[in-house]
Structure 1
Amino acid sequence: MTNALICGTLMLTMNTPAQTPMPEPRGSYKPKKPVVKTNRVIMTRAIWYIFGVIASLLALRIVLLMLSANPETPFVSFVYDLSGIFVVPFYGIFDQPDYTRFYVDTSSIVAIVVYWLLAVGLTKLVNITR
């Protein structure tokens, strides 16, 4: 009986999971590294978020001008005033909006393109040493 007890304890100590090594991955499988958010990633996301907000305001301005929205209503006035800040540098390129008829605000379209190019340039600048 003591032999069976001794053999049982030996078998338990030989098969403990801490002693079995992990097998190496085969083939081209590589374990994923933990994702670390660096300052570059945060800056890139911030740049694209700011561009998204500006582009959304300008797109809303374009839609409201195309539909000839009443500029005296508070919401439309708010959108025109807020988006006007970003369109001011591009006002001299094309005609001014009339606000009384169907109008495609080409200055806002140019502004969206220029701000998009600026966002692309800034993200390339942030990630230049990558």
Structure 2
Amino acid sequence: MEINEGLYDKITQLTDMGNDVFEEDLDQAIEYYEKALELVPTPKTDWEASTWIYTSIGDAYFFLEKYEMAINALSNAMSCPDAISNAFIWLRLGECYYELSDIEKAKEYLMRAYLLDGKDVFEEEDDKYFNSLEVEQ
């Protein structure tokens, strides 16, 4: 099952607009992502587009240090197609839990990211996240 082409184009246009402003204005990026998500048919969790839209929303909230909101968006992403095999989603969830001082849950999610993608998934992240895993380097 696929989203019709016209609707898909509108969704990707909005997410691209969010990506374009991500570095300068995270709140504006979230607005674009949420508008894109509104266009995804229900149930949202049936569509691959929801996976990357929820992930983008969660990523933006992470950088805004709104970790609970990030966890909510990323958890929604995990209910969508192909998310369970996406190391980045596991990574961001782990980092959010780390920042909320839930270190045990953080380690669980960070380890899943590590098992999926190895140390590479941590390449552009603060060393504290990988170091919390206490794996041999």
Q: TM-score, normalised by structure 2?
A: 0.25
Kindly name which structure, 1 or 2, has the bigger radius of gyration based on alpha carbons. 1
Structure showing the higher helix proportion among its residues: 2
Greater relative CO, 1 or 2 (CA 8 Å, sep 6+): 1
Q: TM-score, normalised by structure 1?
A: 0.26
